[in-house]
Structure 1
Amino acid sequence: MTIKPGDKIPAATVYEMGSDGPGSVTTAELFNGKTVVLFGIPGAFTPTCSASHLPGFVKFSEQIKAKGVDDIVCFAVNDAFVMGAWGKDQGTAGKVRMIADGSAELTKKMGLELDLTGKGLGLRCDRFAMVVKDGVVQSIDREAPGAFEVSSAEAQLSKL
């Protein structure tokens, strides 16, 4: 079942690259007591994700945070090393947290998996964006296959 407004973000452990290497982060640490814009992408360094999705959140991070958002989180079924390298490449420091769900634990629990094995990419996260307040989903916008409209930074900014 796909997560929906009113649902609590499931308990899971994800990873974030730190100065000493990958570190684990629980969903409670990410979401409890905060307002978070979480957006999911099929993969780091992929065309739409690198040219539009992540850059939009970097560009509009100040405006989004000015609307009361504590954190903007980019989320993918990649490892923390890849997410860390992609974050450096995209200039996300202080703007967007790069969170890795390498085993797709949280992705599966939220029902947001995207099976791209037929294209040689394995199990990934679907493209989406959601607003989460104190661990509870306020809104979720999941893209149609191949689309990039409702999960953009601009679309999320207009909801806040």
Structure 2
Amino acid sequence: MAINVGEKLPQATFKEKTADGPVEITTDELFKGKKVVLFAVPGAFTPTCSLNHLPGYLENRDALLERGVDEIAVVSVNDWFVMGAWAEKTGGFGKIHFLSDWDAAFTKSIGLEMDMSGAGLGIRSKRYSMLVEDGVVTSLNIEESPGQATISGAAAMLEKL
């Protein structure tokens, strides 16, 4: 069952590429005492993720921050090497967090996993966005189709803020 608005995010640890190499970042470190936009993609470098979803957040980064958002993060069930390469290739490195949920532990713990084995991708995350305030989900927007990024896109998040 998927996490609901009003619920606290479970404890989890992500990996993120930094200038000094990979670091682990916990949900407490990322969300405690902050307003954070978190969005998830089924896979780095995939068409909708790279051509629509991520670019919207990069283009609207400043507008989101101006509306009181402290951090923006994207999470995917990919390893930190892939997420780091995606961050660099898209110009997003250092602008938003590119979080690796390498074993889908976080994604499964919030009930937003999907099995894409039929497409050769294995367990992945559903496409969604959420606003998290001090670790509590205050808005949750889950796409019906992984090939769309409308209700979970940056423009929709800006409207909610």
Q: Same fold (TM over 0.5)?
A: yes
Which deviates further from its counterpart, 87-96 or 131-140? 87-96
8 Å CA contact 2:84–2:93 kept in 1: the answer is no
Equivalent-residue separation in structure 1 for 2:25 and 2:106 (angstroms): 12
Shift of 1:20: 2.8
Hey, what does 1:66 align to over in structure 2? 66
Hey, what does 1:155 align to over in structure 2? 156
Deviation per residue, 1:29-86 (Å, 9 max, x gap): 0100000000000000000000010000000000000000000101100011110110
Shift of 1:21: 2.0
- Code of the residue aligned with 1:149 in structure 2: it is T
Hey, what does 2:23 align to over in structure 1? 23
Paired residue secondary structure (2:95): coil
Structure 2 unaligned blocks of 5 or more: none
* Superposition map of 1:1-150 within 5 A: 1-145=1-145, 146-150=147-151
- Code of the residue aligned with 1:51 in structure 2: it is L
- Code of the residue aligned with 1:150 in structure 2: it is I
Equivalent-residue separation in structure 2 for 1:3 and 1:60 (angstroms): 26
8 Å CA contact 2:12–2:27 kept in 1: the answer is yes
- Code of the residue aligned with 1:133 in structure 2: it is E
- Code of the residue aligned with 1:141 in structure 2: it is N
Structure 1 unaligned blocks of 5 or more: none
- Code of the residue aligned with 1:151 in structure 2: it is S
Shift of 1:125: 0.6
What is the RMSD computed on CA atoms of the aligned residues? 0.8
Paired residue secondary structure (1:114): strand
Equivalent-residue separation in structure 2 for 1:103 and 1:49 (angstroms): 19
Which deviates further from its counterpart, 18-27 or 125-134? 18-27
Shift of 1:147: 2.7
8 Å CA contact 2:14–2:99 kept in 1: the answer is yes
- Code of the residue aligned with 1:155 in structure 2: it is A
Identity between Structure 1 and Structure 2 (%): 50
Deviation per residue, 1:83-118 (Å, 9 max, x gap): 011011111134211011000010000001011011
Paired residue secondary structure (1:137): strand
Shift of 1:19: 2.0
Size of the aligned set, in residue pairs, is 160
Q: Once superposed, which parts of structure 1, at least 4 consecutive aligned residues long, lie more than 6 Å away?
A: none
Equivalent-residue separation in structure 1 for 2:97 and 2:23 (angstroms): 13
